[in-house]
Amino acid sequence: MIKNRARQLLVLPDRDAADEAREDLVARCPDLDDPELVRDALAGEDDAEDAQWLLVFEAPEDGWTPALLAELDAVADAQDGWREED
């Protein structure tokens, strides 16, 4: 069986949503490493309000399980965001 080792990104609408998602995931999935928080300015936008925030998760040692990916999806959805693989 091939392990999914891709980084996972939660794309969130603002800093508050990113902070809440991070706290929620630390509580739900204590075995995950703390994600990197990155501000992603939208192309051509100078206004600080026009930015998305990313939580970047490295794959766990055993790779991503469907259950872990479902947790990421649920938390992203609760904050009006989504998950992408990198």
Compute the distance between CA of residue 69 and CA of residue 82 in angstroms, rounded to an integer: 11
Please name each of the domains of the chain with its CATH number: 8-85 (3.30.70)
Sort strands 51-57 and 82-85 into parallel, antiparallel or unpaired.
unpaired
Q: What is the pTM of this model?
A: 0.85
pLDDT averaged per 10 residues in sequence order, the chain, 86 residues: 84 96 93 91 60 93 93 97 95
The pair of three-digit structure tokens given for residue 35, joined into one six-digit string: 């994600």
